[in-house]
Every structure is written in C-alpha cells, then in structure tokens.
Amino acid sequence: MSANKSRAELLAELEDWAKGLSNDILKLKEPILEIPSRTLSNTIWDEKNKILKLGSEKIHRKFLDVKEARRFMQTMLMLRLIVEAMRADVFPTIRDLYYNGKHTINFNFLGRKYRENTWDEQSESNAVIEDIEVATNILREEMGVSADVKGKIVGPIIVRSQGYELDASKFGETALSLPVNVDALEIVKVEANYVLVVEKDAIFQRLVREKFWSQEGAILITAKGMPDRATRRFVRRLNEEHKLPVYVLTDGDPYGWYIYSVYKSGSIKLSYESERLATPNAKFLGLTATDIDSYKISDNYVIAANDRDVKRAQELLRYPWFQKPEWTREINLFLKKKKKVEIEALSTHGLKFLHDYLRDKIRGSKFID
C-alpha cells in the first residue's frame, strides 16, 4: 500500500524497477518480470478477511522466451509511457496510453521482413497496465492515469484536495464529485453517524433534496450502478479510517445484490485490488426478496424476473461470498417467487415511505451482514 507516498517517490520506485531490469541486461543476464498471476484460478476467497483476493501464484515473464517476448516488450513500452507522463506532469487516460504506444515495428529476421504492432486492442494495453500495478504495488491512480469517475458525495465531511478544503455539508442541492485518485484526498473532519451508499443517482438526488442526510447525520454516496475504483476506495477509507458503519441500498434484484457484494468483497476482475477497495463489514440494507412481504409491497409494484435475472441469481448462489444463511435464503426465495422489486416501489406507501424504510432498517438492525 502506497497511499501516502509523493508522486516523486512513486516515480522513483517505477524507475528503480526499470533500472533493475536494464542492469540485468547490461550484465548479460536475462531480464525476468515477476508478476502475480491475475487468472481466475489464482483468485481466492479469503474467508478470514472476507474479501476476494489474489493467491500466491506468480508468473515469470522472460524476455528470451518466444511466447513471452511480446508481452515483455509491451510491459516495458507501457512502463516507459507512464514514466514519461509522470516526468512531464501529464495525466493520460488509459485510452491515451493505448494510442500513444500503438505503432508498428518493422524488423528483419533471417533475411525476411516482418511487421508487428506493439498492440492491436486496448484490452492488451489495459492488461499491461494491470500487470504493472500488481508487480509494483503502485496503482494506476497513483501513476496519474486518468479514468472515468462516477462517485459523488454529500454530508458532514470535510476533505482537502490540493490545498482546497471542501465541506460536503455545504453543497446545497449540488454534490462533490470524487477525484480519480481518492488517496490524494485528505479527509480533514468527519462528523457523520454512518455512510449510506445508494445505487441509483435519482434516489441520491431525492435524498439530497429532502435533506435526509442532514436529519440523519449521514454521508450519502452514489456511483450510479456498478461502482468504479475511486468510489469503492473512498467508501473503504470512510469505514477503515473513520470507523463509520456503511449501509448499501440497491434495487431488490440479483444485479443490485451483486453491486453490494462488489462494495463489500471486491470483484473477480479486480481481485488484486480488494485489499484496498473492499469494505468487508458493509451491511446490506435492502431491498431484499423478503421485503416484498415484510413491507407489504403490492403485486402491482413487483416486477416478474426474466431469464437473465434467474441466471444471475444462480451464479450468486455459487459465489463463496454469498454462502451465508441470510443470503442463500434470500436468493432461493427470489428463485422460487421469481419476483424483483425496485427502490422506487417503496413509494407504494407514499412518497415519504423511503425515509421510514431506511430508518426502520438502520434503527432495527434489519440488514444483512
């Protein structure tokens, strides 16, 4: 973890890594990259810490191996692009890096001419960025790589970015958009009772305008559906550094439940990041399959599940991080009734019922851990 290192220190670490490799070459030793393996088989469920993470398998990428020379070249090319960007104080996007490094290499071998592209697809250049992240333990955010940012927040919290203090309790009907690199965001002061993560942006807007957060002393966060890295990291920091309970509110369907699990346990694709991104003690507020009965949501407001929902629910049942009696009961109830329900269906009991529901769940500890 390198949360508190300066940009200059991080740059020096990347340069040192490269120097080690070039020293090997100068000593006529074969350069080898040792990189934790990011395959599905090396993704494990850490029962004790309740997160998805990478196992101990490592790959040794050898320059003098014809199967690996291309990927070795790509890794060195990407490292050069990133180091150059950091030196020049620019903040390329992952797509910039793809374009910036894309070119054709012409070479002769045994009398024949060859042409080879450095990479053809962005999936190749992205994979190399991830390799560099796991190999160096420095995140692309810390390297200054830009990406889409989805998260926004309001509530009793003051943060500082590049010397500017921002008090998220004084935003009126606007909100604070998170930066790409939330580790560079200093949390100056927090006076909140809990963090409420809301799947849907429009529900976030409602709760802002209806002053729910100030009545509750809650920090409200949304990432509009599946969360990005910055939002997950920020939720984690609020929980870890400030011991705030984290509650997640999503639609009552397998997609919503999966979103919750990404906040809580991490995702398969980014399992090497869970140790920084996941919030293992995040609680699920709802909506659950049981809520349909317990909150008397009329049939009129309930939606029939489609085949994709059913398939997704069956997948959830297979994930080790859903192996809890509360979750298997909910998912099996869903599979039996084949009914899903949206947050907005709570307005069947009037437009203010959402507030009552949230308070009832939190005060009564009616959440799933």
Please report whether residue 73 would count as binding a copy of itself according to CB under 8 A.
Answer: no
Closest separation in Å from C-beta 329 to a copy of itself: 26
Residue written as token pair 């984290």: 246
80-115 as b/e: b if 16+ CB within 10 A: ebbbebbeeeeebeeeebbeebbeeeeeeeeeeeee
Amino acid at 369: D
Q: What is the dihedral of CA 165, 168, 174, 175, to 10 degrees?
A: 90
Closest approach of Cβ 345 to a copy of itself, in Å?
A: 5
Binding of residue 130 to a copy of itself (CB under 8 A):
no
| Size of the chain in residues | 369
R_g (Cα) of the chain, nearest Å: 24
Binding to a copy of itself (CB under 8 A): which residues in 24-43?
none
Of 179 and 254, which CB lies nearer to a copy of itself in the complex structure?
179
* Smallest separation (angstroms) from a copy of itself to the CB of 206: 5
Q: Which of 48, 113, 148, 243 binds a copy of itself (CB under 8 A)?
A: 148
Look up residue 280 and give its two tokens: 């293992």
Cβ-based nearer residue to a copy of itself, 97 or 316 = 97
Piece of 26-34, 60-68, 286-294, 339-347 that binds a copy of itself (CB under 8 A):
339-347
Touching a copy of itself, residues 151-210 (CB under 8 A):
152, 159-164, 166, 170-181, 184-185, 200-203, 205-206, 208-210
Residues 6+ apart with CB under 8 A from 109: none
| 64, 97, 175, 198, 358 from 352: Cα distances, Å | 67, 48, 22, 16, 11
Please identify, using beta-carbon distances, which residue of 4 and 162 lies nearer to a copy of itself: 162
- Is 300 a binder of a copy of itself (CB under 8 A)? yes
Q: Which is closer to a copy of itself, CB of 37 or CB of 161?
A: 161
Please provide the distance, in angstroms rounded to a whole number, between the alpha carbons at the two ends of the chain: 27
Per the listing, tokens 């080898």 go with 32
Report the C-alpha gap between 186 and 161 in whole angstroms. Answer: 7
Which range, of 42-50, 51-59, 72-80, 98-106, touches a copy of itself by CB under 8 A?
Answer: 98-106
**One residue of 194, 255, 301, 367 binding a copy of itself per CB under 8 A:** 301
Kindly identify the residues of this chain, within the stretch 221-260, that bind a copy of itself according to CB under 8 A.
Answer: 224
Q: Which residues are catalytic?
A: 99
CB 330 within 8 A of CB 290: yes
Distance (Å) of CA 302 to CA 139, 289, 338: 42, 10, 10
Interface size with a copy of itself, residues (CB under 8 A): 65
- Residue from 12, 64, 90, 226 that binds a copy of itself (CB under 8 A)? 90
Binding site for a copy of itself (CB under 8 A): 84-85, 88-96, 98-100, 102-104, 117, 144, 146-149, 152, 159-164, 166, 170-181, 184-185, 200-203, 205-206, 208-210, 224, 300-301, 342, 344-345, 347-348, 350-352
